[in-house]
Amino acid sequence: EVRLVESGGGLVQPGGSLRLSCAASGFTFGRYWMSWVRQAPGKGLEWVANIRHDGNDENYVDSVWGRFTVSRDNAKNSLYLQMNSLRAEDTALYYCARVLDAYDYCDYWGQGTLVTVSS
């Protein structure tokens, strides 16, 4: 059974940092692109970043470029999102998701971890 479990969310002040983690199991993690998708409270879905199966290619939405870094450790079946210079508008539930194919479809999702940026 494919399982994705996010952790690391919490309350942080504007300008602060957080590192999210996603533990994967039930599939060969190192064969798949992975994505982070977020959802602000009461709002829709926003794609944030993705990373190639070998970690050698990353992509970001413009609004997080230069502030967020996606990484992975295939030996630990884990995905990460380092978030720096956090802003109020980064407040959201952050999901990690397995990417199905080249068109960024996400076939498995975790339950999300909540990040709240507030003073």
According to DSSP, the β-strands at 3-7 and 10-12 are unpaired
Question: Which of 53, 104, 114, 116 is in the footprint of other proteins by CB under 8 A?
Answer: 104
Binding mask 6-45 for other proteins (x = CB under 8 A): -------------------------------x------xx
Candidates 57, 62, 59, 37; CA nearest to 48 is 37
Q: Which of 41, 66, 75, 103 binds other proteins (CB under 8 A)?
A: 103
Q: Which of 106, 113, 115, 117 touches other proteins (CB under 8 A)?
A: 106
Distance CA 107, CA 72 (A): 19
CA 14 to CA 87: how far, in whole Å?
5
Closest CA to 96 of 14, 28, 32, 42: 32
114 binds other proteins (CB under 8 A): no
Contact map string, positions 38 to 77, toward other proteins, x by CB under 8 A: ------xxxx--x--------x-x----------------
First CA to last CA across the chain, in angstroms? 40
User: What does the block give as tokens for 14?
Assistant: 């504007």
Q: Which residues bind to other proteins, rule: CB under 8 A?
A: 37, 44-47, 50, 59, 61, 95, 100-101, 103-107, 109-112
